[in-house]
């Protein structure tokens, strides 16, 4: 499947996990089948815009949020800021704050 499908699916999974929803709960709220939700999250299915809109609505996330900054990669084909965002957004708020504090401390040593 395309990298865009995988990235959007990962974002959906991250937002779902942040809310503490199971795939079944998200399926119920969005009117999609739980298997379909799993396939979208794994990037196995190219979801329709209508399905993505239903899912974003169930997650209370603007549709644009699922697609922003998907096409900004460097010459190696990697998008490090996006990878960092995806990594952090999969964590709890507390874990995000801890990681941020660690990064700030690391940055202080760089300046020394």
Does pLDDT of 17 surpass 70? yes
Residues 48-84 pLDDT 10s: 999 999 999 999 999 988 888 776 555 676 777 778 8
What is the reported pLDDT for 112?
56
Tell me the domain boundaries of the chain. Answer: 1-67, 76-112
With a pLDDT cut of 90, the percent of the chain lying above it is 47
CATH T-level assignment (fold) for domain 1-67: 434 Repressor (Amino-terminal Domain) (1.10.260)
Give pTM, 2 decimals.
0.69
Structure confidence at residue 79 (pLDDT): 73
CB 27 within 8 A of CB 36: yes
| Ramachandran region, residue 24 (left: φ > 0; alpha: ψ -120 to 50; beta: rest) | alpha
């Amino acid at each position: 499947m395309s990298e865009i499908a995988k990235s959007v699916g990962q974002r959906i999974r991250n937002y779902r996990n942040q809310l503490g929803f199971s795939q079944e709960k998200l399926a119920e709220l969005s009117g999609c089948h739980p298997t379909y939700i799993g396939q979208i999250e794994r990037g196995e299915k190219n979801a329709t815009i209508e399905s993505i809109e239903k899912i974003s609505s169930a997650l209370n996330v603007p549709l644009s949020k699922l697609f922003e900054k998907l096409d900004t990669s460097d010459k190696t084909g990697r998008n490090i800021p996006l990878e960092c965002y995806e990594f952090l957004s999969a964590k709890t708020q507390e874990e995000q704050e801890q990681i941020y504090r660690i990064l700030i401390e690391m940055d202080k040593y760089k300046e020394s």
